[in-house]
A = this chain, B = another copy of it.
Amino acid sequence: MEHLKLDNQLCFPIYAASRLITSVYRPMLEELSLTYPQYLVLLVLWEKESATVKELGEKLWLDSGTLTPLLKRMQEKELVLRTRDKADERVVNITLTEAGKQLKNKASDIPNQLISCMNMEIEQAVQLRNQLQALLTNHSNPI
């Protein structure tokens, strides 16, 4: 039963680290009136300008049950527009408003702030990221 000890688990540190990181982000993102998942949506849109709900879901591994209400809240804050695709009415296109685009400037220092809060060497962070990305691609039960 040694494997059932909390300290021996790999999964608990991942779960704890994930919540730690969003808690470190929270005060920074609060200044932009954003939650961490909303910030992730903006990271995608700052690269792509426009994306469908499906595309956002594939990049962030979130389903419409999570994204639909989240995107509605972002629309209420006038960060994005949600428009049905003319060519395929099933699809909803998410595009940045001017305010949504401008927020990128305000957010530009967040990654550096994060790194310094975590007290991590860059090489260590890169190595950890690579291991996690391996974990994400290797598991035999894709979501």
Q: How many of A's residues come within 8 Å of B, CB to CB?
A: 61
* CB < 8 Å neighbour of A136 from B10, B13, B25, B47: B13
Interface hit among A70-78, A80-88, A117-125: A117-125
Are A6 and B120 interface neighbours, CB within 8 A?
no
Do A108 and B4 form a contact, CB below 8 Å, given A13-B132, A129-B10, A132-B17? yes
A14 at the interface (CB under 8 A from B): yes
Cα distance A108–B143 in the bound complex, in angstroms:
25
Docked-complex contact A111 and B14, CB < 8 angstroms: no
Tell whether, in the assembled complex, residue A10 and residue B128 are in contact, meaning their CB atoms are under 8 Å apart.
yes
User: Which residues of A in the span 88-143 have a Cβ within 8 Å of any Cβ on B?
Assistant: 104, 107-108, 110-112, 114-120, 124-125, 127-129, 131-136, 138-141, 143
Which residues of A come within 8 Å of B, CB atoms? 1, 3-6, 8-25, 36, 40, 43-44, 46-47, 59-61, 104, 107-108, 110-112, 114-120, 124-125, 127-129, 131-136, 138-141, 143
Which A-B residue pairs are the 10 nearest by beta carbons? A3-B111, A18-B18, A13-B132, A119-B138, A6-B43, A10-B129, A11-B21, A10-B125, A23-B143, A17-B132
